Structure 1
Amino acid sequence: MMIFEVLTTPNPKLRERSREVLVNEIKTPEMQKFFDDLVETMKVEDGIGIAAPQVGNNIRVIIVLTKKGPEVFINPEITFRSIKKVKEEEGCLSVPGVYGIVERCKEVRVSALDRNGNKIQPDTKGFMSIIFQHEIDHLDGILFIDRAKKIKAEGTSRI
């Protein structure tokens, strides 16, 4: 296993839009190893989600810690967004020590491929919905600080 270095702001790679993963790339040994290494990196960093761009690989892959454990989502796309919104505090491995209140959809439906290339469509609500929206934003070069209404750094009051 390889543990990747997590990129932090202001690294410009975090602001790039990621390319889709081709179906014939998914089952290659290199890509499968990348999935495993990304999962391990998320675990070591004590994260609940991570996106490939956060480790310098601008492909549309995210890992989300679900009830089943860490799951790989390839080319994830939000196909439904609820009208109801929630405001929650978010943080990010790529923006260490900074937190902010972000308004997101209470529920989303995601369409993606799993690590075997099978189509999956998890319905997510509440906190899981927030994680998916946060991680998919990374694939478009968007960080939570771009959406946050109130931002604060550890050990300070509001910035």
Structure 2
Amino acid sequence: MPEILQISQLGNPVLRQPSQVVENVKADRIQQLIDNLISTVQHAHGVGVAAPQVAMGDRLFIVASRPNLRYPQAPKMEPTAMINPQILAASTETVKDWEGCLSIPGIRGLVPRSRAIEIEYTCRDGKLHRQELTDFVARIFQHEHDHLDGIMFLDRVESTQELMSEDEYQQQFVKLL
């Protein structure tokens, strides 16, 4: 049965350590971690979560876009485990948008990201996938991919004036939608 895992918070050194390549995608430990990450991200009302956020050093994350309390306009997709993910190409067009993070509760930041990316990853059944992602889902992928390299969204914010509290974000942006 899947568990809801504790999410490491900003300041925990585990969030700054690079993760390690997953050698055996079908290992019971990895399959259980995937199930636990899916339960954790759904419980936390997130749209993605990376293994380092739950103190696991595996190069693995979940993209689970769906409308929820934190992201009411998110597109709906099935939670997808992305193992040993890579960004193969990125558009030169960048877009700034507000991001939050389960490891940095209460804060949003305006983060520049590539609007479109070409990616490759292994899914939980061991098959290699290659696809192009755009807009919000591309943003989720880039955010979670950063976690695998010990990078937090705060590292990408260009000015501290582009930070705001979650409460203020909800008042200014979510009620307008």
TM-score by length of 1: 0.93
**Counterpart of 1:28?**
27
Q: Does 1:57 align with 2:56?
A: yes
Q: Does 1:153 align with 2:165?
A: yes
Runs of 4+ in 1 over 6 A off after TM superposition: none
**Counterpart of 1:45?**
44
SS at match of 1:69: coil
Unpaired runs of 5+ residues, structure 1, are none
Unpaired runs of 5+ residues, structure 2, are 66-75, 170-177
Greater share of residues in strand? 1
* 1:155 CA drift (Å): 5.2
Q: What amino acid maps onto 1:53 in structure 2?
A: P
Q: 2: distance between equivalents of 1:36 and 1:51?
A: 12
Provide Cα deviations, 1:26-61, integer angstroms capped at 9, x if missing partner: 112221111101110011011100000000001100
**Counterpart of 2:106?**
97
Q: What amino acid maps onto 2:51 in structure 1?
A: A
Q: Does 1:135 align with 2:137?
A: no
Aligned Cα root-mean-square deviation (Å): 1.5
Q: Does 1:87 align with 2:87?
A: no
Q: 1: distance between equivalents of 2:128 and 2:88?
A: 13
TM-score by length of 2: 0.84
Count of paired positions: 155
* 1:156 CA drift (Å): 6.8
SS at match of 2:118: strand
